[in-house]
Structure 1
Amino acid sequence: MPTVPLLVRPLRLAGPGDQRLVTGPLAEAPGWRFARTADEGASFTSPCRTTVFTSSGPPETLGAWSVHGYTPSGAQPLWRAVFGPGTPAEITGAFTAVLVDGLRSGHRDYLLGGPHHLDCTPASVLADRGWQPDPGPKGFHDQVAPDGTALYRHRVGHQSDEAEIAGLVPPSWSMIAGDPQRPSWRADFTIGVPFYPLVHAALAFSSPEPVERALGSIPARHLPHVTARRAPAPASTWQPHARTPQGPAVPPAALPVLGGARRR
């Protein structure tokens, strides 16, 4: 059945998933402004107006998010991150959650010496998980997933920051799932993107842990490359109502709500 819940791995091939993993940290962050875009997507703007998240509305663009960083005045673009259609929400959400949290401290909590600093880079994360270096096209250096289904691409050499932000030249970093010439999805990051959310996105991109998906939501061309098993049924929280000798049913007590030197 298309709606049967499955535990699927690798995450990068599991499909776009639940977009609330992206919108949740934005909707709950104090002071962020929400608006609808012209195509009925969503737009979230930080209280300091330095960061804007925008999604696209039509169903065929599920998983598409753009993130723009601006100067404190909000007038000058500084960097851009684009998560293309089909990007798993867990990857975009990993980037989003730590960036939203980091803005509260002006990024200090995630930089060297901060309580949430991670002493790693996207390249070192992937190397530690067995991703192999590959020369890639001229002007790029790639790291390829052990199963060959994805790569992390780093552009080498200098180019104009303004041209890169405008999309006139290739981005500094890309996460690409599937055939690089016809990717299933890709996420692109320009120079200037805060490095710590990029590290967290790389951790999700290369994650070996399974994620829950309905069978019908896994892209058909990914099916030969994923492993899946039926998700265990959730534990029942039903309790019989206690009854007093004279009175009606007494509701049970409320249950608790159950719920992851710089090298590039």
Structure 2
Amino acid sequence: MSAITPLLVLPLRLAGSGDGRLITAPLATVHGWSRTQTPDGTVRFTSPCRTAVLTAEGPADRPAWTVHGFADPGSEPLWRATFGPGTPAEITSAFTTVLADGLRTRHRDYLCGGTRYRPDTPASVLADRGWLPDESPKGFHDQVAPDRTAVYRHRVGHQPHNAEVAGLAPPSWSMLAGDPQHPSWRAEFTLGVPFYPLVHAALAFSSPKPVQRLVGDIPTRHLALVTVRRISGSDHPHPSPAARPGPSTTPASPPAPAARRR
């Protein structure tokens, strides 16, 4: 089978990086985020309110995406969300697109009583999809996917907030895909991350729907773990451009209810 043969792949979390424009296009064309590039090649998207910044670093086909949130423009970062190399673009986009929409009203639409509020937690949406508690490293609580190819990890206990945002202490929440001991990719979220985009990222992380990829897009180490099928005339997946431009060439917090585990 040719490396450029399009396929439908399940599960999404093992399908490969995908098209980075799923992340950047809504920010630039729908939500008005500005794009800049530093001399070292780092691409930066900044929200119109200047309280959120998305950066992309690394090779064009496997960038790492980091979102920093700020209480006010120019202040120290309040929180950080990082999507490591290999994270499917659909998962990163689920977080960034919903965050960008929420910033329009300073999150009010997504808070309790808002028009887009939902009471779910990441842990609850995963539990609804059959993810179960599992043996965890000391100081953490894990939920594992039914096929055991992914883990949602919640850190237990207190640690300095600033150290967590700076990456000097373990994040409050992590998504790990592949072998949990040696994950193929990971996404990390610090205390203070707005709750609603984290829920949407969890929904994408556990998505039961197939996504389109080229054969060559699927990581070799995942070939034995994914289910694939050729695209038929009745399928209507998202388009998957043969050429995937890198981030340098693309166009452009509410707490959880106390009784529910995040």
- TM-score, normalising length: structure 1: 0.87
Distance 1:70 1:155 in 2: 23
Q: 1:192 aligned to 2:192?
A: yes
**1:32 maps to 2:33:** yes
- Residues 63-92 of structure 1 show CA distances to partners (whole Å, capped at 9, x for unaligned) of 410000112132211000000000000000
**2:224 partner SS:** helix
For the 8 Å contact 1:29–1:100, the answer to whether it is kept is: no
**CA distance 1:30–1:90, shift in 2 (3 Å):** closer
Q: Which runs of 5+ in 1 are unaligned?
A: 236-260
* In structure 2, C-alpha distance between the alignment counterparts of 1:38 and 1:50, rounded to whole Å: 23
SS in 1 for 2:75: coil
Contact 1:39 / 1:57 at 8 angstroms: preserved in 2?
A: no
User: With structure 2 as the length reference, what TM-score do the two structures score?
Assistant: 0.87
**Residue by residue, what CA displacement relative to the aligned partner does 1:176-206 show, whole Å, maximum 9, x if unpaired?**
0012221100000000000000000000000
Change (3 A) 1:136 1:70: same
- The alignment status of 1:9 with 2:7, answered yes or no, reads no
Displacement after TM superposition at 1:149 (Å):
0.5
1:130 matched residue in structure 2: 130
1:30-179 matched pairs, under 5 angstroms: 30-59=31-60, 62-179=62-179
1:213 is paired with a residue whose SS is strand
- The one-letter amino acid paired with 2:26 is P
| Percent of paired sites with the same residue | 67
Separation (CA, whole Å) in 2 of partners of 1:192 and 1:203:
19
Deviations 1:14-59 (A, max 9, x none): 0000111100111114442210134424210112211000001423
User: Mean Cα displacement is larger for which, 225-234 or 190-199?
Assistant: 225-234
Q: CA deviation at 1:136?
A: 0.5
Q: Secondary structure at the match of 2:223?
A: helix
For the residues of structure 2 that align with 1:20 and 1:59, how far apart are their CA atoms? Answer: 12
> Within 1, Cα distance between the matches of 2:32 and 2:190?
26
In 2, the alpha carbon distance for the partners of 1:45 and 1:77 equals 13
Q: CA deviation at 1:5?
A: 0.5
Structure with more relative contact order (C-alpha pairs < 8 Å, separation 6 or more): 2
Q: What secondary structure, in the 3-state scheme, does the structure 1 residue paired with 2:24 have? A: helix
The CA distance in 1 between the partners of 2:70 and 2:52, in whole Å, is: 6
The answer (yes or no) to whether the contact 1:39–1:56 under 8 Å persists in 2 is no
Distance 1:128 1:234, change over 3 A: closer
**Aligned equivalents of 1:49, 1:96: Cα separation in 2:** 14
2:240 is matched with which residue? none
Letter in 2 for 1:75: S
List runs of 5+ in structure 2 lacking aligned partners: 236-256
- Confirm or deny: 8 A CA contact 2:94 2:201 kept in the other structure: yes
Describe the superposition over 1:196-253 as per-residue Cα deviations: whole angstroms up to 9, x where unpaired.
Answer: 0000000000001000000011000000000000012489xxxxxxxxxxxxxxxxxx
2:182 is aligned with 1:182: yes
Give the Å deviation of 1:159.
Answer: 0.6
1:255 matched to which residue of 2?
Answer: none
Which residue identity is paired with 2:72? P
Kindly provide the amino acid, as one letter, of the partner of residue 34 in structure 2.
Answer: R
